[in-house]
């Protein structure tokens, strides 16, 4: 008795599978990072637009109040430059670090990560899109704080354009940390606590002049990425800024931003599979 291979028999399972594979349409291309990030950014921006004015008011009022209090302690010079620069970056820290930690903590607790996991977008697009949307709210408040501080302490405003670099670089570094706190915290309350502690560190290490801090605390200041943005901005108030040092500080801030956003992407993948 001869044996006929199954693959040549009409109507066999293998033959049907091959016919289906031949007739199937090719899969669509994988979603690219930048278009996906832009879509997430627009969605987050429109969703948070209702809370925009309260966020701007709270973040700006907090930084302006700190500068008014410091006016009675600091008269001018390098310490005034540090206070104004640190207060401006503190607006970024309030939103990008504190509020983003709360957002991702609530997103994880409420099952929102499951929704994003079903979308054909890279994990980095979710993190970058949400971080960019929250950081966008800091732009008006940061500029207003810097202008008010210059008027309060009599500092020049010729180089305020540097904020166009300081805001996204410091915002990226702090947003990555905030997203990581929210994604790794087991409970949203803990994510809120970590965000508050991070913002307190940005206040203590960024606003207070570095020369007045204890030596041990100064070493801790070097570990906070936003302080490099503060130093870069503060140097631009000098009569003849050392632009090479300014660029170096911004470069360190940019490197820290890439590292923190990569860490946040890893945290997102880890939280999404649970």
Q: How confident is the prediction along the chain (274 residues), in pLDDT tens digits per residue?
A: 545 444 444 444 444 344 434 444 444 455 677 788 888 888 877 766 665 667 778 889 999 999 999 988 887 788 999 999 999 999 999 888 888 899 889 888 888 777 777 777 788 888 888 888 887 878 889 999 999 999 999 999 999 999 999 999 998 899 899 999 999 998 999 999 999 999 899 988 999 888 888 888 888 898 898 999 999 999 999 989 999 999 999 999 999 999 999 999 999 888 877 6
- What is the pLDDT, as a whole number, of residue 215? 85
- What is the pLDDT, as a whole number, of residue 237? 95
- What is the pLDDT, as a whole number, of residue 230? 95
3 located within any domain? no
Report the predicted TM-score, pTM, of the whole model to 2 decimal places: 0.83
- HEC secondary structure over the chain: CCCCCHHHCCCCHHHHHHHHHHHCCCCCCCCCHHHHHHHHHHHHHHHCHHHHHHHHHHHHHHHHHHHHHHHCCCCCHHHHHHHHHHHHHHHHHHHHHHHHHHHHHHHHHCCHHHHHHCCCCCHHHHHHHHHHHHHHCHHHHHHHHHHHHHHHHCCCCCCHHHHHHHHHHHHHHHHHHHHHHHHHCCCHHHHHHHHHHHHHHHHHHHHCCHHHCCHHHHHHHCCCCHHHHHHHHHHCCCCCCCHHHHHHHHHHHHHHHHHHHHHHHHHHHHHHCC
4 located within any domain? no
26 located within any domain? no
220 burial (CB, 10 Å; 0-12 / 13-18 / 19+) is middle
83 located within any domain? yes
19 located within any domain? no
Taking the C-alpha atoms of residue 78 and residue 237, their distance in angstroms, rounded to an integer, is 9
6 located within any domain? no
41: CB partners within 8 A, 6+ apart: 128, 129, 130, 132, 133
158 located within any domain? yes
- What is the pLDDT, as a whole number, of residue 167? 93
Query: CB neighbours (10 Å) of residue 260?
Result: 21
**What sign does the CA torsion over 205, 208, 211, 214 have?**
negative
149 located within any domain? yes
Domain extent at residue 224:
31-272
| Radius of gyration in angstroms for the set of CA atoms belonging to the chain, rounded to a whole number | 25
- What is the pLDDT, as a whole number, of residue 89? 94
Overall number of domains in the chain: 1
């Amino acid at each position: 008795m001869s044996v006929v291979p199954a693959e040549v028999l009409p109507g066999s399972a293998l033959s049907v599978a091959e016919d289906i594979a031949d007739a199937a349409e090719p899969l669509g291309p994988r979603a690219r990072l930048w278009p996906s990030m832009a879509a997430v950014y627009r969605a987050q921006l429109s969703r948070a637009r209702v809370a925009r004015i309260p966020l701007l008011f709270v973040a700006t009022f907090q930084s302006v109040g700190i500068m008014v209090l410091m006016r009675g302690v600091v008269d001018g010079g390098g310490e005034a430059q540090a206070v104004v620069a640190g207060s401006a970056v503190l607006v970024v820290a309030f939103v990008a670090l504190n509020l983003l930690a709360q957002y991702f903590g609530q997103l994880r607790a409420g099952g929102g990560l499951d929704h994003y996991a079903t979308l054909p977008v890279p994990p980095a697009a979710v993190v970058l899109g949400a971080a960019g949307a929250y950081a966008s709210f800091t732009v008006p408040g940061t500029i207003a704080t810097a202008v008010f501080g210059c008027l309060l302490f009599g500092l020049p405003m010729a180089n305020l354009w540097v904020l166009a670099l300081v805001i996204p670089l410091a915002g990226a570094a702090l947003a990555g940390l905030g997203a990581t706190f929210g994604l790794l915290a087991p409970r949203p309350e803990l994510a809120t606590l970590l965000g508050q502690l991070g913002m307190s560190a940005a206040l203590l290490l960024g606003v207070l002049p570095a020369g007045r801090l204890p030596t041990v605390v100064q070493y801790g200041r070097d570990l906070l990425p936003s302080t490099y943005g503060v130093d870069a901005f503060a140097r631009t108030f000098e009569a003849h800024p050392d632009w090479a040092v300014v660029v170096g500080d911004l470069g360190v801030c940019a490197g820290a931003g890439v590292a923190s956003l990569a860490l946040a992407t890893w945290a997102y993948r880890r939280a999404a599979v649970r």
